[in-house]
């Protein structure tokens, strides 16, 4: 499993900065859903699931957080998101957990599909059995 970051160009001038994101240009899929996570309490982990078909880009637009990504064969921990000009690509069939949210963390997620509960795998053992075929 290769961890893939997407760098976004920072535009702006003496007034401040701006990042523009376009589907199928900056993002490798059509964006069908956008959501953000904020106000996460101290010592709380989130995620604990994989998606069968959905792909995502996670962007920490404020503050910081960490990710654990697991393909079922390889596990990478302590992936830090702490800048609004870097996105983390999370492919389908990757187990994800988010943790160590800073108090000011706002985690924006761009998704390739609309919400569909049947696309989620929420049990890690079931995820491993699906990955192993």
Contact 13, 95 (CB under 8 A): no
Q: Domain-by-domain residue ranges, the chain?
A: 4-9+23-132
For residue 33, what are its two tokens?
A: 């859903």
Cα 85 off chain centre by: 14
What class is the 4-9+23-132 domain?
A: mainly beta
| pTM for the predicted model, two decimal places | 0.94
Q: Which residue has the tokens 């893939």?
A: 4
Question: Could you read off the pLDDT of 45-94 as tens digits, one per residue?
Answer: 999 999 999 999 999 999 999 999 999 999 999 999 999 999 999 999 99
DSSP structure class, residue 117: G
pLDDT in tens, 81-129: 999 999 999 999 999 999 999 999 999 999 999 999 999 999 999 999 9
* Catalytic residue annotation: 49
Please state, in angstroms and rounded to a whole number, the distance separating the CA atoms of residues 101 and 29.
27
């Amino acid at each position: 499993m290769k961890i893939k970051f997407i760098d976004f160009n920072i535009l702006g001038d003496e007034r401040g900065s701006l990042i523009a994101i376009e589907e199928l240009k900056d993002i490798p899929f059509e964006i069908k859903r956008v959501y953000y996570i904020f106000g996460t309490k101290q010592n709380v982990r989130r995620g604990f699931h994989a998606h069968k078909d959905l792909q995502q880009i996670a962007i920490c637009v404020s503050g910081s957080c960490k990710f654990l990504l697991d393909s079922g064969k390889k596990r990478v921990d302590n992936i830090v998101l702490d800048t609004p000009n870097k996105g983390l690509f999370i492919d389908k069939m990757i187990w994800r957990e988010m943790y160590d949210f800073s108090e000011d963390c706002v985690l924006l997620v761009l998704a390739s599909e609309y919400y569909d509960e049947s696309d989620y795998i929420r049990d890690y053992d079931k995820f491993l059995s699906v990955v192993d075929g």
